[in-house]
Homo-oligomer: A and B are copies of this chain.
Amino acid sequence: MNAASEKISAAMTGPEKLAALIDRIVSFTEEEKLQFVGSFKEAKFKKRQCIVQPGECAQHRNFVVQGAFRAYALDDEGQDHTISFAVEEWWITDYNSYIYQQPATMSVVALENSVVLQLDFTSEQALKSSNHKFETLFRILAERGLAAHQRRIISNLTQTAEQRYTYFLTHYPKVAQRLPQYVLASYLGMTTEFLSRIRNKRRKTKQ
């Protein structure tokens, strides 16, 4: 079976998921996939465990095999803001810290007991210089991330809290159910109280 056409399913192992994912972005040989996936190490984290801490350098790019994580930062008043999150087959780290190898400004924690595949910075450099195709893969990942971040900035600037929630709900219905409300609220740039009110209001008008 050709992994390029393979749908990623919960039944697959972590390495299988990762191999299938990269094969959909750039076409690889079996050996290349093995080399790529072999550069990652599996790690398990319990709920509330931290994989990146402010002040310390983000060592890894993390591919989520099972579970969920969120990255958050604190403001001057100690308020918590969700910068990004990740569920199965998504990536997460403090990119600013990872790519510049500087101390992180945010925390990344497990929201559930989770399994990830971790690629450390040095191994990533080795992969990229060993094969043009790996360089291409990371370039595409970065570009897509850039485009997604730009869409989020547009959404934050142009939409109201309720519009952002509605958008999220239609595009990520499963994730919206799975994330704790305070995580979703702070990701969308509002308080948990306000999101509660929005949901309440929508429940009433819907039926």
Contact = CB atoms under 8 A, between A and B. Distances in A.
Interface of A: 73-76, 79, 81, 83-84, 95-96, 99-100, 105-106, 128, 132, 135-136, 138-139, 142-147, 149-154, 156-159, 186, 189
A88 B143 CA distance: 22
Contact of A83 (B75, B79, B153, B186): B153
A201 to B, nearest CB: 19
Given A81-B158, A83-B153, A153-B156, 16 more contacts: A75-B158, A76-B158, A81-B157, A83-B157, A99-B143, A105-B154, A106-B154, A132-B132, A135-B135, A135-B139, A142-B142, A145-B146, A146-B149, A149-B149, A152-B153, A157-B189
